[in-house]
Structure formats: C-alpha cells, structure tokens
Amino acid sequence: MFWQLSTIFFNVIVPVFAVVTIGWLAGPRLGLEARTLARLAYYILIPAFVFDVMSTAVIQSGLAVQMIGYILVVHLAVALLAFFLARGLGRPSPVVGAYVVIAVFGNVGNFGLPLIEFRLGEAALPYATIYFLAIVVIAFVISVAAANWVRGGSVAAVTAVFKTPALLALLPALLVNSWDITPPLLVSRIVGLLAAAMVPVMLLALGVQLAAAHRLHLNRDVIAASSIRLLAAPLLAFALAIPFGL
C-alpha cells in the first residue's frame, strides 16, 4: 500500500507541482507576467483543448446530464454551507459573499485535468472536460448571484459566462462529434498542438502568479472558508455521488 501510494505521489502529483515550481522560480527572473499567460490559455489554449477532446469523445448523453446534475447539486450544497456558516459566525454581507465564492471555485483546470490524465489516462479526459465546463458555468453563476446579493446589480452579468471561449468552442465540437465530421488534417494538428500546450501554460501561469503574490495573512475567515473548499466540499461530493450512482 505504501509503495503504491508513493508511486502515485511521485508519478502523478509531483510532475504537476514541479511545473508550478518552475513557473514560480522562472517568473520573477524572466519577467514573465501571469496575466499574459492566463489570457493566452483562456482565449486560445482552453478552447483548443475543449474542441480537441469533445469533438472525438464518446459519451452517452444521459451520463453527461447525470454528471452535470451532480455537479450542480454539489456546488449548491457547498454554497449553502458556506453561506450559513458565515452567517452563523456573524460576518457582514461582503464577507459572507466571499465565503460563498471561495467555496465554489477551485483549480479544476490547471490542477485537476493533468492529475486525472496522469492517473486515469486520456480516456478519462472527456469526462473530466464535462466536469470542468460544468464547474466553470455553475461556479460563475453562483458567484455572480452572491455578488448581486451583497452589492446589488444586474443579473445580466450571468450571461457573460456563456460567452467564454471554452463554451463557444464546445458547440462546434459537439456538432463535429455528432455529425461524425473529420476535420482536415491541418486543422486537427493545429488544434492538437494548441490543446497540448494548455496544461503546461496554465501550471506555469499559476507558479508565476504565486511568485508575484504578497505575503498571506491567515485569519479565522481564511481558514474557515478554505476548510469548506478543501475539506467539506470533497466530503459532500463523495456523499452525493452515491445517490447519483457515480
């Protein structure tokens, strides 16, 4: 058991953190900007990855709906837990909203996708991509709702999530998949090269961002909100996976 866990740690987890560390070390020395790398990934590499994976994925539509419903219920449960915990602690509305945002957002793209690929193989990437896109949409909508509750404003901001490049790339990918279209080899290779660059660039961007971050000041709110994200959310996800048959 110990040897198996050690193998998983060194072969699955260490490579991911190693790339983040490279970004953390190289960022300040090479003058790299996390914002530029993040925008590159957001507007070009992530859409290419989504199209590359989903245009050839073989997933039952019923299973996809089941997975999205599961993610929705998990995130709503986590958001409610964060909301009631913050209210129970007597925190003001802005802090309550911050609890909710922290609880529903996670590094599912830069951390989750490579870990899944290394541990479960490329066959798991279509399912991971569905989770990734569903989490992006659901977390964004919940966060906008929390911000509107705190400060007021138009719910029109929610529609902005449906204009994200990743979701815009999903529709043509599904059409290519459902109509069994074979893209030209030139297009496939260009998209494949860009898709392969997504994870490394996102991990490097995270490292550069961490290097540029100011010193963290831990307090009770930071610890409580982080505990919901890191401890309570996984436990809720495991518990809710049973009734969803996942």
What is the DSSP track for 45-91? IHHHHHHHHHTT----HHHHHHHHHHHHHHHHHHHHHHHHHHHHTT-
Give CA–CA dist 10/246, Å, rounded. Answer: 27
Q: Mean pLDDT check: name the lowest of 20-29, 96-105, 117-126, 221-230.
A: 117-126
Question: Residue 154 — pLDDT band, cuts 50, 70, 90?
Answer: low
Placement of tokens 């003058």 in the chain: 31
Of residues 138 and 3, the one with the higher pLDDT is: 138
Whether the Cβ atoms of residue 222 and residue 72 lie closer than 8 Å to each other:
no
Tokens of 180: 């069994």
Predicted confidence at residue 153, as pLDDT, reads 55
Q: Which two tokens stand for residue 25?
A: 């070390």
Look up the pTM and report it. 0.77
Residue 193 has a pLDDT of 92
Domain boundaries, the chain: 2-241
pLDDT digits (tens, 9 = 90+) for 190-213: 999 998 888 889 888 888 888 887
The reported pLDDT for the residue numbered 90 is 85
Query: What is the rounded CA–CA span in Å between residue 38 and residue 45?
Result: 10
What is the pLDDT at residue 156? 60
* Residue range 162-191, pLDDT digits in tens: 777 887 888 888 888 888 888 889 989 999
User: CA separation (Å) from 5 to 23, 44, 65, 122, 238?
Assistant: 26, 36, 33, 21, 20
* Residues present in the chain in total: 246
